[in-house]
Copies of this chain bind each other. A is one copy, B any other.
C-alpha cells in the first residue's frame, strides 16, 4: 500500500527533518537553500507533499512533518546513516564525499541490501 516517493520527495522530507532539529521553525527559504533550488520550486512541491499528508503547511506559514512524513523521513535518514558509515568508516572516504554519495545512493538501495550492510557494519565493529 506504500506509494513510493521519488528521490526528490525523499530529499524534501529528509531536509525538513534535519532543519527541524537545528532551527525549530522550518521555512520555504531554508529548504530552497539546502536543496540549492529556488523558492517557487519548493512552494510547488510542498503543495504536493501537503496533499499527500506528509507535511503540514499553510500559506506563508511554517512547515512541519506529519506523523507519516516523519516516519518516512526517519527511514531515509537511517539509509543515509548506514551508507555514510560504510563509506566513511570501512572504505575510508572523506566525510564530504561519503555524504554526497550517501545522499544519492540512499534512494536506490534495496531493503535487503540495507539490512545486510548494517549487519556487515556490526561484524566489522566487533572484530576491531
Binding site for B on A (CB under 8 A): 87, 90-93, 97-98, 100-101, 104-105, 108-110, 112-113, 116-117, 120
Contacts and interface: CB of A to CB of B under 8 A. Distances in A.
B87 A113 contact: yes
A117 B91 contact: yes
A86 to B, nearest CB: 10
Nearest to A115: B91
A116 B93 contact: yes
Contact of A93 (B91, B100, B101, B113): B113
B109 A97 contact: no
Q: Is the interface of A mostly helix, strand, loop or mixed?
A: helix
A68 to B, nearest CB: 25
A100 B108 CA distance: 9
A104 B107 CA distance: 9
A97 B110 contact: yes
Contacts of A109: 101, 104-105
Contacts of A92: 116
B101 A110 contact: yes
A110 B120 contact: no
Contact of A108 (B104, B113, B116): B104
